[in-house]
Amino acid sequence: MALHLILPQFEAGSIVPPSHCPRRDCRGKMLRLHQQVVKPVRDSPDRSVVAYRYQCLTCGRTFRVYPHGVSNAHTSRRVQHLAVLLYFLGLSYGAVAEVMDALKVYLSKSRVYEAVRSASFNAPVARLPILRNVNVPHRSNRRVVLECYNHKVLLELTHDPTDRLILTLHTASAEDARRCSELIQPLAEALGIEMQVGNELVRAVGVA
């Protein structure tokens, strides 16, 4: 049985124009588009997005506005959330970095640490001792073997046709998948991650 953890789509073209200057000592509303800037982003796969640089006509300062899912960090938010998810499922910073590398989304140990420390949640989230003992098969092809409740499980990273990033935990039984789902649900909700239990992944209504 499989537990699918579905991270949001990467919306490279979705930039919302700002309504005011972000500087606390200004907050001016007279803005103009100053230039477009190409920004490399570490995602799955790595890609580049266009950020807009605006100038405030009140204070003269410039600032960038990024597409949905991107910030001034080098890594997309969904990849950061993936690292945070793996850490809160019981893996150490080093183990998360090893798993991310095997899943073809390289993130250094220090970057994992930064992602975890900068993560914010609406409610307290407990770290769950669910995953341990990372084993990366030779030529893993985005697959990692771990232990979950003393059973070996397969962790796999894939994309669906709508560019959603999907982390799938292949468990020994349907009961294990449901148990993991119940434990992970508060964390997944805090990170904006959708969950589905079942061997077949069901696309959301209205998604092409």
- Residue 4's pLDDT is 92
Q: Which residue has the higher pLDDT, 142 or 41?
A: 41
Tell whether omega for the bond before 45 is within 30 degrees of 0, i.e. cis: yes
**Amino acid residing at 153:** V
Is residue 197 within 8 A of residue 178, CB to CB? The reply is yes
Please tell me the predicted confidence (pLDDT) of residue 23: 93
pLDDT band at 179 (very low <50, low <70, confident <90, very high): confident
Most confident of 34-48, 88-102, 150-164: 88-102
pLDDT digits (tens, 9 = 90+) for 91-150: 999 999 999 988 888 889 999 999 998 887 766 777 888 888 888 766 567 788 888 777
* Other beta carbons within 10 Å of 116: 17
| pTM over 0.85, yes/no | no
Percentage with pLDDT > 90 across the chain: 35
Question: Is residue 95 within 8 Å of residue 109, measured between CB atoms?
Answer: no
Q: Is 139 left (phi over 0), alpha (psi -120 to 50) or beta?
A: left
Q: What is the mean pLDDT of the chain?
A: 85
Q: How far is CA 163 from CA 30, 103, 138, in A?
A: 36, 16, 27
Residue type, 179: R
Is the CB of residue 99 less than 8 Å from the CB of residue 70? no
Distance CA 160, CA 165 (A): 7
Residue 205 has pLDDT above 70, yes or no: no
Is pLDDT at 22 greater than 80 in this prediction? yes
pLDDT at residue 64 is higher than 90: yes
Closest to 77 (Cα-Cα) out of 203, 204, 191: 191
